[in-house]
């Protein structure tokens, strides 16, 4: 009689160990997440590994744990949003369902593993395999393989339907509506009362469901703020309605979630949830026309803006610039980031963007500008005055 050789004794340990080594080496060598920092951390972790007395299996487990920890800790940018860190009722519901599904699958997984362990142990102990039918074989297969899965899947289906209905519930009680339009590769947000247009930063009052009218100017995009709500597609010629609500003030990162071309990954935005008063103040300011520039640099900068290509694509309300091809810049200086979350809204980053937008976001619909140092300086003065 042949005994099963896998998963037992020294051989298994060896396999597990070399696997852990391979993974650790991948990470140490750069791997998917790359980066010198990752590599160094992985190497340090490997050098520090506790060896004294631990058996090979234990060491292998150690490697695996370190590897997972290194990979997990090095992938996340600072404000990487997690659906498991919900900050609004919509996302909280999604997270609840996620945990429920994880719990059920864990229980099922452990039970199946248990059966497998019993089978392995028994096959090692037993003599020759008995021929003939096993009396209880069929009922076990029918109950364990059909009835129980059918019950679990049906229950989960019902739970999901309930959640989907709640997430897209009629928005009778929303307090306001914001129209959001996707563009390759930025977001335009329009408020109606009072009227205001801005880009890539959507402010909402905290604790109130806000209705969104989502559409696109070009290709498909998908509006997703993981900590607040489910994704909603933005479809050309169609307005999809959705609501978002934040439980607490904060700045929540959103991301286009439907591949839309070269710079899809650089199509970021932020939802800024504010207290009612702060929000009202923000919106009142956004609704105003741009202030007349006061200092001489900014006055000259406005000239540059109007005479260069800029005014052919951008609007600055209150001036002659009223083109709609690029983001509305009326209150550019009030935003935290530029170029759809890719750069900080600092003087240096603004300069980088204006001089060489293609270097920042290859393929973006903004051409590079050839400005003298003086022109650029004045232009920056002007743009920074657009509070
Ligand atoms: C052909 C049209 C076009 C011209 C000309 C143009 N832009 Fe743009 N601009 C865009 C588009 C489109 C974007 C959005 C790009 C993106 O984020 O993918 C943009 C983005 C910007 C932004 C970032 C706005 C934000 O909130 O993210 C600034 C600032 C800006 N442009 C300033 C200028 C200035 C200054 C000039 C003139 C020197 C200029 N643009 C010329 C189309 C144009
Ligand atoms: Cu997109």
CATH architecture of 296-384: Sandwich (2.60)
Residue nearest to atom 37 of ligand 1 (CA): 310
Q: Which ligand is nearest to the CA of 231?
A: 2
pTM reported for the whole predicted model: 0.79
Q: Residue 80: its pLDDT value, please?
A: 81
Measured in angstroms, how far is the CA atom of residue 270 from the centroid of ligand 2? 14
Q: What value does the mean pLDDT take over residues 35-59?
A: 47
Look-up of token digits 């049906």: 154
Give residue 322's Cα distance to chain centre. Answer: 33
347-355 and 373-384 helices, crossing angle to 10°: 130
Burial tier of 332 (Cβ tally within 10 Å: 0-12, 13-18, 19+): buried
**Least-confidence region, from 31-45, 87-101, 286-300:** 31-45
Q: How would residue 21 be classed by pLDDT, with cut points 50, 70 and 90?
A: very low
Q: What is the Å distance from ligand 2's center to 136 Cα?
A: 55
Q: Is the pLDDT assigned to residue 10 strictly greater than 50?
A: no
**Pair of tokens at residue 339:** 């170029």
Residues with CB under 6 A from ligand 1: 185-186, 199-200, 305, 308-310, 312-314, 325-327, 329, 332, 335, 338-340, 350, 354, 361, 364-367, 369, 379
Q: 312 C-alpha vs ligand 1 centroid, how far in Å?
A: 10
Proportion of the chain above pLDDT 90, given as a percent: 70
CA distances in angstroms from 95 to 206, 370, 379, listed in the order given:
20, 49, 46
How high is the pLDDT of residue 23?
39
Residue to mutate, 216, 355, 357, ligand 1, most ligand atoms under 8 Å from C-beta: 357
Band of residue 175 on the pLDDT scale cut at 50, 70, 90: confident
| pLDDT digits 0-9 by tens, 203-249 | 999 999 999 999 999 999 999 999 999 999 999 999 999 999 999 99
Residue ranges near ligand 2 (ion) with Cβ within 5 Å: 221, 256, 260, 267
Shortest-distance ligand to the CA of residue 234: 2
């Amino acid at each position: 009689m042949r005994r099963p050789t896998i998963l037992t004794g020294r051989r298994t340990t060896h396999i597990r160990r070399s696997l852990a080594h391979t993974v650790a080496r991948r990470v140490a060598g750069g791997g998917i997440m790359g980066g010198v920092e990752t590599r160094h951390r992985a190497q340090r972790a490997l050098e520090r590994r506790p060896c004294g007395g631990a058996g090979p299996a234990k060491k292998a487990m150690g490697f695996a744990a370190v590897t997972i920890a290194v990979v997990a800790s090095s992938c996340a940018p600072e404000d990487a949003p997690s659906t498991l860190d919900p900050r609004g009722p919509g996302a909280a519901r999604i997270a609840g369902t996620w945990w429920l599904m994880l719990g059920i699958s864990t229980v099922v997984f452990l039970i199946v593993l248990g059966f497998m362990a019993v089978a392995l142990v028994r096959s090692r102990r037993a003599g020759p395999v008995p021929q003939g039918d096993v009396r209880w074989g069929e009922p076990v297969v029918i109950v364990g393989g059909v009835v129980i899965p059918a019950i679990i899947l049906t229950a989960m289906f019902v739970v999901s339907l309930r959640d989907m209905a709640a997430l897209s519930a009629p928005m009778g009680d929303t307090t306001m509506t914001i129209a959001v339009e996707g563009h390759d590769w930025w977001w335009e947000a329009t408020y109606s009362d009072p009227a205001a247009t801005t880009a890539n930063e959507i402010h909402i009052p905290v604790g109130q469901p806000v209705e969104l009218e989502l559409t696109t100017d070009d290709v498909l995009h998908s509006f997703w703020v993981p900590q607040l709500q489910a994704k909603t597609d933005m479809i050309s010629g169609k307005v999809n309605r959705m609501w978002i609500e934040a439980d607490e003030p904060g700045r929540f990162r959103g991301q286009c979630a439907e591949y839309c071309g070269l710079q899809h990954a650089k199509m970021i935005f932020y939802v800024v949830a504010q207290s009612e008063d702060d929000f009202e103040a923000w919106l009142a300011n956004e609704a105003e026309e741009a202030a007349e520039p006061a200092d001489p640099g900014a006055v000259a900068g406005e000239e540059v803006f109007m005479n260069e290509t800029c005014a052919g694509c951008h609007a600055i309300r209150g001036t002659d610039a009223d083109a709609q091809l690029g983001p509305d810049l009326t209150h550019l200086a009030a935003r935290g980031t530029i170029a759809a979350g890719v750069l900080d809204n600092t003087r240096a980053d603004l300069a980088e963007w204006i001089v060489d937008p293609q270097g920042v976001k290859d393929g973006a619909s903004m051409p590079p500008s050839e400005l003298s140092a003086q022109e650029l300086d004045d232009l920056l003065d002007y743009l920074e005055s657009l509070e």
